[in-house]
Amino acid sequence: MVMVEYEVSIMTVMGKNCAIKRKGKTIKLIADSEMNMTELGSRPKIQDGDVFITGKGSAFTVSSNPDTWKEYDKNKRQRTKYITLFPNSEAKVKVEVWKGHDNKSDQDLVCSNMIDVELVKGTFSVSYEGCDDELMTPTAALKAKDSTAWCIDIQNNGSYIFKGFGAFEVKNRKTGKSYLAKNKFQEEVIVTGDSIYQKPVTKMDTAPASTVPLGGLALFKDSKEQAGKQADMAKNFGSIADQASVAMEMMKRMTPEQMAMMSKGMTEEQKKQFKESMAQFKKMEASGKMDEMKKAMEVGRAHIEAMGNENIDKFKALTEKGMDKMQGVTKQIEDMINKVESPRQYGPLTSEFKVA
């Protein structure tokens, strides 16, 4: 049986001072710029009880998307969480693991989901969608209403929460009093030890960072090379499609005796995986999915052939040039990360802003 795993993943790492604390050990995270795209799978899997930490000039983003396998339903949004930790920040997470089965694709599923996220100190960009669980800070408990994005800055006197979009309920953890932030425009909510304040968009302080988490914006060592390889693969798409079609046809006609011959020399684990893969292939073939794949490959071949090699070469050149421009974008992001470390200038919390 084929098993598909949906993990809590590390999306973007920028700077040299990002790490995970786990059971007394510190696991250092390598910056995107210091690794190849092919090495992404080597990053540590997020586990229950992990503590995320960042130091000077560093930031990283973690994402949780346990419902990716489900079909889109506008009436029941898929759960998604994105959290960016900016310099000198710390967050604790609990992770639940759910195992199930998708009858439509006949696949076993293992889905990890971040729950009970606690922002301990520092500055964060956070977005929640379709999540009912609370996001905690030292003074506040936040609950998103459908889809919400925040910049959250934890100071000695309380939590400064800048809403980018959406609505959310915030509760003071000490007093239990709450406030519903539902303005159509941006707003700022400050939760101190015993009070809640709200500033409208016209009187807001300046947020120290974006309300949108960073994700997929940094360059890897081999980004330019991989972009070129993708264009080169497009030229050979017809040959690749032919090889795939031949392989599928051979698998379809393979007898049990031939399968036994192929599995000779394999380890027991390899034999098990081979057997499961063949069983899954047979189910896909019987359901008509293999025919759908072949049709999709033929459509792809037609698109590539219509482009022609000359246009593919032009596309490759433009893509590689775009990677060069991305260097400038990455520099802007690095500057923004460093700027977050600047001293804050928050206005006074007067009675006109108190809501609870």
What are the residue ranges spanned by the domains of the chain?
3-220+342-353, 223-339
CA pair distance 173, 267, nearest whole angstrom: 55
Asked if residue 179 has pLDDT above 60, the reply is: yes
Q: What is the pLDDT of residue 224?
A: 58
Locate 164 and state its tokens: 């980018």
The count of C-alpha atoms lying within 13 angstroms of the C-alpha of 40, restricted to the half-sphere facing its C-beta, is 15
- Average pLDDT of span 65-88: 87
Q: What is the pLDDT of residue 262?
A: 67
CA pair distance 199, 166, nearest whole angstrom: 16
CA pair distance 179, 65, nearest whole angstrom: 28
Locate 67 and state its tokens: 């419902």
pLDDT digits (tens, 9 = 90+) for 22-67: 999 999 999 988 888 778 888 999 999 999 999 999 999 999 998 8
Q: What is the mean pLDDT of the chain?
A: 83
CA pair distance 147, 132, nearest whole angstrom: 10
pTM confidence score: 0.74
pLDDT digits (tens, 9 = 90+) for 304-351: 555 556 655 555 555 555 556 666 667 888 888 999 999 999 999 999
| CATH of region 3-220+342-353, choose from 3.90.70.10, 2.50.20.10, 3.40.630.30, 2.60.120.1440 | 2.60.120.1440
- Average pLDDT of span 121-137: 95
Name the pLDDT band for 107 (thresholds 50, 70, 90). Answer: confident
* Environment class of 86 (CB within 10 Å of its CB; exposed 0-12, middle 13-18, buried 19+): buried
pLDDT digits (tens, 9 = 90+) for 226-279: 655 555 555 455 555 555 565 666 666 666 666 666 677 778 777 777 777 777
- Average pLDDT of span 188-215: 94
Q: What is the pLDDT of residue 174?
A: 97
